[in-house]
Structure 1
Amino acid sequence: MRFMPRTAVPWLERPVLVTVVALLALLVFVFAWIGMQVSRKDSLKLLVMQGTTFTEALARASTNAIASESFYDYLVHRRFNEIVAILNDIPLDKNADKSLQQIVQRHDLKAVFICDLEGLTISSANIEGEQGFLPDFVIEEVRDLASDAESFYVLLFHQGEEVGQVDHYYLRLTNTLDRVFVIVADALYYAEGLRQTQIGYLVQNMAREAGVEYIFYQDTDGIIFSSRSTGQLLAIESDPFLTTALESDTIVHRLYQFQGREVLELVRPFATDEYPFGLFRIGLSLEGFHVVSRGFDRLMAILAVAMFGLLLFGLLYFNSRQKRRQISRQYSEIKSSTDVIFDQMHTGVASINLSGTISIANRAFEQILGLNEVLGHKWNEVVLTQGLSLRQLVEWKDKSEDHEIKAIIDNVEKTLLVAVSEFSMVGLNSSGLVVVIYDITQLKEYEEASARRQRLSEMGNLAAGVAHEIRNPLNTISIAAQRLAMEFTPENNKDEYQAFTGEIRKEAKRLNSIMTRFLALARADKGQIPRVMLNDFFTEFGQFLRLEAENLGIDVKIDIQSDIAFDVDPDSLRELFTNLFNNSKEALTGRSHGQIQIIACKQDNFVEIRFSDNGVGIEPALREKVFTPYFTTKEAGTGLGLPTAHRIVSDLGGTITVKESESGGTEFVIRIPA
């Protein structure tokens, strides 16, 4: 702004100038005072918005923490129920302790006890260094469980005297109701996981954020938990503001004196099944607010005293606006951080409004269901997965349990755990459904692999006894048949006699071969294991495959990455691919232009080997059964080839799966740690 020289305006005399200056000074003072009030009000409003976002994030995280607690309990009960199912099948004979010891080692337990209804131990097993008897408090729980007609199990969580000694005691009545199983397991992982998902732990972490003075959870009886020492606080019924907040359905705030300091307190009602209905009270420091306000006041005062004119006022006001924009930007960053956290969750979360439109969905939700850009679309138009129709979700919303479904997504079968709940926000006049989806496909695969390894382990124990009992009489039969053929010659029907004895020797030899393969399936060689270069192995072994394949009119293609190597017994590796080759060879019988393809490459820390053919393939319903011992669809098959291949891969710490190949045949995918 420019001012004309005084001489250019002769009518601007001194009295007029003084009056104009006084008016300008008054105008600057008024503008400065208004600017101070507006700045204080806007800054406080932004701080309230910031605190509201923080409070909502705390409430949402608390709800998720409680849900995580329930999920932890579900996994623990599920694990123990699987062990109890095994214990119910163990007979109480002289081998009971040995069987219990195997279960303790296999399931990484500390001890297992079988007690009568008075708590007296009938049979037990424990790891080395663990006490071989039950504490008195557990015996009392056994008696209480036996006398309670409505309870069948009890889960105890015991903190030992030593640091880090945390145990689970799982007590379960047997199916016959005449004994009690007591399973003792290390619960340190459970305690640590539970600690990190508890609301108290969450509150302590969030209270460390800059500007947070305290976080309390208070009900009508008093403080339930807090992030710091509270001192003397008024009860809810003694504080009209808290009484009003308890009846409100939105977040309310006030300026509050806490331990001699003024804070901005935000209060939100909160209720769950784990805690009584109460209030979250979050205190935010006003120190930064006061620093900004005092700085702005000083600038306005300097502007009023110096009367630098409207330009200086405009510059200072612009400065205050910039500060307000900075606070607004911080609020936007906090909101963006919350959105990023929501979007980076591994659990799929989506909400559906009353019209059936998806209003919220994170990235995990789209990835699990193989979708893109679902926001704003009708649920039934974009979610076509079987078992997840909107009608099905509505039926589930009133049920508290999770629902497990199997679905084909992007040509891959997945196992999903789905939880549905109803939400209603009265203040925003909004309601609908919240859908939470967990992809537990890998967990299911681990469970199936564990069960399969357990069956093979049990088969190993059976195999040793069976081989001993069968091979001795089998050798006797073979020797007798050989002697009959060599030492005894009948006078009549010599050719028929020789044919009969030869058939006996041949069948005895075949039976001995079956027993050898059965033992190979049930146990693995524990000797020295060399390191094998896969390319060198297939250079030699591939010649054998191609020689036999050429005689059958089959084309074999082998493509192996040059630097692949891992520790494996070459004979086991040869047996693995021989069994796969035999399976493909039989699938290609009678088919012209038969092809077998073997491709191996390194992916991250795994070696992936794909063995495929263009044969008749395996029906989807039978693919999960092909690794089961003695399961076969061939008239001359023994059902031991593919189970043996599975055992070899499992001994290497890997996995083997079967699916349809690109040519319509069968493809085995092997993944082994490099």
Structure 2
Amino acid sequence: MLGFRQRFFGAGQFFAVARHRRGGGAIVVHADAEALLAFRRDVGAGSFIKLIADNETIRYAVVQDSGGVLLASDGVTEMSAPAADPFLGRVLSADPPQMRFTRYRDEEILEIAAPVHLGENDATLLRIGLSAASLHRAERTALWRIGISTLLLLLTGFLTTGALLRELRLHRRAEEQRERQEQIDAMGHLASGVAHEIRNPLNAVSIIAQRLDREFEPSQESEEYHQLTGTLAAESRRINDIVSQFLRFARPAPLNRQPVRLDALVAHVAALLQGEAADSGVTLISQCREVKEVMADGDQLTQALINLARNSLAACAKGGRIELTCTPHGDRILLSVTDDGAGIDPENLGKNFNLYFTTREGGSGLGLSIVQQIISQHDGTIEVESAPGRGTRFTITLPAR
């Protein structure tokens, strides 16, 4: 290799390579020195530095050793020396690249520095400075995307959890309705057997009490005598009515399903009970929206609403208020009876539909059980919400036609 030589004719240099030829002589190749140097610049380390620095987020790229800057991107005139910078000294003593935040031309920079090996010189560094503002923007964008993704995941999770909880509530409610119906059926069969055993002697007691009242007149304390026989006959009739309710409960009549307008039915029940409510000093109103017809036994649903309304009347003091409502709810219709009465104690709230359960003096414990049975026969549900001193709301849900 001859290397760079001065031109014999004209200015400039050329680069020459000569090789011995077997047959004698030599093969000589030469190239223009300026063209060769330009080629080296385009494909060498300098082009690599330039390529890196062309990235808009990169503020500088520098290769330097202890003596100073060897290669640098455009615009770099001065950089700190490894001997004067403890960070660069640590980089030279460790193989893994390291990074730091620093200042360059009044701008915050993330500098990445790594040792590089160029021939025999081991004290050489590659330093690349990245704009911290660009990194912060990228970080904010990444955080925003992560936040949106997290929000979507949470929203999906909440919706899924809500749907699962709703299904669990519906399943639990159906199980409670089934267990309650099984309990009511069992109690009803028991009541049927007991009622037949009671009714015959009860009728005999009632007849005897009536005959004693009509056919005998004591010589002393006649008024008390007639009062006692009258009470005996009246209580016998009351017990007979309870027995009749037991039998109706144990052997419910089959439904006579017909198209029924529940808004009209609610208004009818409110009109029937206006007199009783007025006598008790209670305001009874009905508020119904137009709803679809349901296939139902109108007489039995009327009886169920009357039982609920009378239950509310018994719970209200003078000046109280009862509201009957009927509203559409998707493919179902909601009937509600709401009062501002005494409310139900929490320990009794789950027992309201149990057969024979009552907290009212003189109550039979049959009214709400019969209501639950009627609603269950109509493929509906009934729920109660109450708190002591805050009133009670019974809500019936029935499928629309």
TM-score band by shorter chain is 0.5 to 0.7
2:364 alignment counterpart: 638
CA distance, structure 1, for counterparts of residue 268 and residue 167 of structure 2: 43
Deviation by residue 1:377-426 (Cα, 9 ceiling, x = unmatched): xxxxxxxxxxxxxxxxxxxxxxxxxxxxxxxxxxxxx997xxxxxxxxxx
Q: CA deviation at 1:614?
A: 1.7
Which of these two proteins has the greater Rg computed from alpha carbons? 2
Q: CA deviation at 1:449?
A: 0.9
- Asked whether the 8 Å contact 1:481–1:504 carries over to 2, the reply is yes
2:353 alignment counterpart: 627
1:570 to 298, 317, 334: 298
Corresponding position: 1:534 with 2:326? no
| Alignment map for 1:31-110 (pairs within 5 Å) | none
2:73 alignment counterpart: none
Deviation by residue 1:464-512 (Cα, 9 ceiling, x = unmatched): 2222111011111111111122223333332222122111101101101
CA distance, structure 1, for counterparts of residue 302 and residue 373 of structure 2: 14
2:246 alignment counterpart: 518
2:300 maps to a residue whose letter is: S
1:121 alignment counterpart: none
* Alpha-carbon distance change, 498 to 621 in structure 1, aligned in 2, over 3 angstroms: closer
1:656 alignment counterpart: 382
CA distance, structure 1, for counterparts of residue 252 and residue 189 of structure 2: 13
- Asked whether the 8 Å contact 1:457–1:522 carries over to 2, the reply is yes
1:562 maps to a residue whose letter is: E
Q: How large is the Cα RMSD of the aligned pairs? A: 2.9
* Alpha-carbon distance change, 441 to 559 in structure 1, aligned in 2, over 3 angstroms: same
- The alignment of Structure 1 onto Structure 2 pairs a total of residues equal to 251
CA distance, structure 1, for counterparts of residue 358 and residue 268 of structure 2: 30
Unmatched segments (≥5 aa) in structure 1: 1-342, 344-357, 371-413, 417-437
- Asked whether the 8 Å contact 2:337–2:394 carries over to 1, the reply is yes
* Alpha-carbon distance change, 490 to 576 in structure 1, aligned in 2, over 3 angstroms: same
Q: CA deviation at 1:532?
A: 2.1
Find the residue that maps to 1:579 and give its secondary structure: helix
- Asked whether the 8 Å contact 1:657–1:669 carries over to 2, the reply is yes
1:366 maps to a residue whose letter is: F
1:442 maps to a residue whose letter is: L
Which stretch of the first structure deviates more once superposed, 652-661 or 501-510?
652-661
Q: CA deviation at 1:537?
A: 2.4
| Alignment map for 1:407-446 (pairs within 5 Å) | 440-446=168-174
* Alpha-carbon distance change, 547 to 415 in structure 1, aligned in 2, over 3 angstroms: farther
1:396 alignment counterpart: none
TM-score where L is the length of structure 1:
0.35
- Asked whether the 8 Å contact 2:327–2:334 carries over to 1, the reply is yes
- Asked whether the 8 Å contact 1:616–1:664 carries over to 2, the reply is yes
CA distance, structure 1, for counterparts of residue 331 and residue 243 of structure 2: 37
Q: CA deviation at 1:543?
A: 1.5
- Asked whether the 8 Å contact 2:192–2:250 carries over to 1, the reply is no
CA distance, structure 1, for counterparts of residue 344 and residue 272 of structure 2: 26
1:585 maps to a residue whose letter is: L
Unmatched segments (≥5 aa) in structure 2: 1-148
* Alpha-carbon distance change, 527 to 639 in structure 1, aligned in 2, over 3 angstroms: closer
CA distance, structure 2, for counterparts of residue 631 and residue 530 of structure 1: 32
Find the residue that maps to 1:628 and give its secondary structure: coil
2:142 alignment counterpart: none
Find the residue that maps to 2:398 and give its secondary structure: strand
Deviation by residue 1:554-600 (Cα, 9 ceiling, x = unmatched): 2222122234322333332222111111221122124x3x2211221
Q: CA deviation at 1:439?
A: 5.8
CA distance, structure 1, for counterparts of residue 240 and residue 363 of structure 2: 16
1:601 alignment counterpart: 327
State the identity %.
34
CA distance, structure 2, for counterparts of residue 368 and residue 625 of structure 1: 33
- Asked whether the 8 Å contact 2:209–2:229 carries over to 1, the reply is yes
1:475 alignment counterpart: 203
| Alignment map for 1:443-482 (pairs within 5 Å) | 443-482=171-210
Q: CA deviation at 1:548?
A: 2.0
1:545 maps to a residue whose letter is: L
CA distance, structure 1, for counterparts of residue 371 and residue 158 of structure 2: 36
CA distance, structure 2, for counterparts of residue 621 and residue 500 of structure 1: 39
Find the residue that maps to 1:440 and give its secondary structure: helix
1:485 alignment counterpart: 213
Corresponding position: 1:669 with 2:395? yes
Q: CA deviation at 1:649?
A: 0.7
- Asked whether the 8 Å contact 2:266–2:326 carries over to 1, the reply is no
Deviation by residue 1:3-40 (Cα, 9 ceiling, x = unmatched): xxxxxxxxxxxxxxxxxxxxxxxxxxxxxxxxxxxxxx
| Alignment map for 1:340-379 (pairs within 5 Å) | 363=155, 365-367=157-159
Find the residue that maps to 2:220 and give its secondary structure: coil
